[in-house]
Structure 1
Amino acid sequence: MRSSRSFLFAAALLLASSSAQAAILEFSTTLNGSSQVPPNASAATGSAFVFLNTSAQTLAVDISFTGLSAPASGAHIHCCAPAGSNAGVAIPFTAFPATTSGVYTNTFDLTAAATYETAFLTTNGGAPSSAEAALVTGLEDGLAYVNIHDVNFPGGEIRGQLAAIAPGPAPGAGLAGLIFAGALLGWRLSKREVEATG
């Protein structure tokens, strides 16, 4: 009987952890010169994945790029403007590699004022909470983009508008449901056996 309860508890924890994962919103884009405003003929390309954890209030970025015409001098998330328009820097990517090809990963604390470009923070109420709200709304509305700058293209050599990745089922949610149903069935059967022998 005790092992059935432990199993039910473990299944409930697994279901709870699957639900917690639903707080992560994912965005992605392809970076290229034709997406810059104005467009350019750069042969450089890249990709960007952004993971917004609304529970932990963090933003993780994973960027790869290749073929820049000069070493990167900066990279950012800009917000809030539709494709074909420019916007100010929302989050500068600290310690971005000064290379022509590379990868960059970082996680930003959205509750810290230092995460945001000063102008973005000031324009959006002056507090991290209001800057975070503006950025989250911009991401969800498709009004944020990533770009990479260098000396040959000071306004940005490659850019991509971030778009939401359609959410799928939380990893393990189906398995957790099956485990929970099996545990419940096992508990009911063991309870019947106890009642029948008692």
Structure 2
Amino acid sequence: MRTQFLSPALLPVFSALAVSSALLFVSPALAEVVKYKATLDGSQQSPPVTTKGKGTATFTFDTAKKKLSWDVKYSGLSGPATAAHIHGPAAMGANASPVIPFKGKLKSPIKGSATLTDAQAADLEAGKYYVNVHTAANKDGEIRGQIDKAM
């Protein structure tokens, strides 16, 4: 004797429920938070700058929201920071225009975030961005660091 647990009329309902549940559990796996870092100094400026200034920058990038957050710490500059931003796209040693300005107070640490475009996210992933901190004595930048994935 065979027992039927599910009426044929309910099969489509349970099938849809199973597919929806599977998608619900898979979706968060597609989102990822990627960590990046940069070490800033005068030798990475193009042309290089002689300075006691140095710094570190840490970044997190939420791939689902395309949100890049940063924490930039520096010390030893020739004077107060007059500007700071992310430049690109550029390989190490090459110069490029600012693409993401750091707004607000520029005293260390500089913290903030921005939502990236698809092209900006691709350039970040490809290692084509750098952080630059400018001072009055070094208008083109006193310290710089290429942004790479953190290991």
Q: Does the pair score TM above 0.5?
A: yes
Equivalent AA in structure 2 for residue 155 of structure 1: D
Unaligned regions of 5+ residues in structure 1, if any? 1-14, 111-131, 167-198
1:52 and 2:58 matched: no
Is 1:62–1:103's contact at 8 Å kept on the other side of the alignment? yes
Could you tell me how far 1:93 is from its partner in structure 2? 0.3
Unaligned regions of 5+ residues in structure 2, if any? 1-24
- Name the structure 2 match of 1:106: 112
1:62 and 2:78 matched: no
Please show how residues 46-195 of structure 1 align to structure 2 within 5 Å: 46-97=55-106, 99=107, 102-110=108-116, 132-166=117-151
Determine the C-alpha separation between the residues in 1 that align with 2:42 and 2:27.
41
The Cα offsets for residues 92-143 of structure 1, whole Å up to 9 and x where unpaired, read as 000132x4xx201112233xxxxxxxxxxxxxxxxxxxxx122111111111
The Cα offsets for residues 18-54 of structure 1, whole Å up to 9 and x where unpaired, read as 736x511111010000000000111100001111111
Bigger strand fraction: 2
1:38 and 2:47 matched: yes
CA RMSD between the two structures: 2.0
Equivalent AA in structure 1 for residue 130 of structure 2: Y
Bigger helix fraction: 1
Determine the C-alpha separation between the residues in 2 that align with 1:18 and 1:137.
21
Is 1:75–1:96's contact at 8 Å kept on the other side of the alignment? no
- Name the structure 2 match of 1:29: 38
Could you tell me how far 1:88 is from its partner in structure 2? 0.8
Determine the C-alpha separation between the residues in 2 that align with 1:96 and 1:74.
10
Change (3 A) 1:16 1:104: farther
Determine the C-alpha separation between the residues in 2 that align with 1:134 and 1:18.
23
- Name the structure 1 match of 2:29: 19
Structure 1 length normalisation: TM-score?
A: 0.60
Paired residues in the alignment total 128
Structure 2 length normalisation: TM-score?
A: 0.78
What secondary structure, in the 3-state scheme, does the structure 1 residue paired with 2:109 have? strand
Is 1:74–1:96's contact at 8 Å kept on the other side of the alignment? no
Runs of 4+ in structure 1 off by over 6 angstroms are: 15-18
Could you tell me how far 1:144 is from its partner in structure 2? 0.4
Is 2:66–2:121's contact at 8 Å kept on the other side of the alignment? no
Determine the C-alpha separation between the residues in 1 that align with 2:124 and 2:112.
17
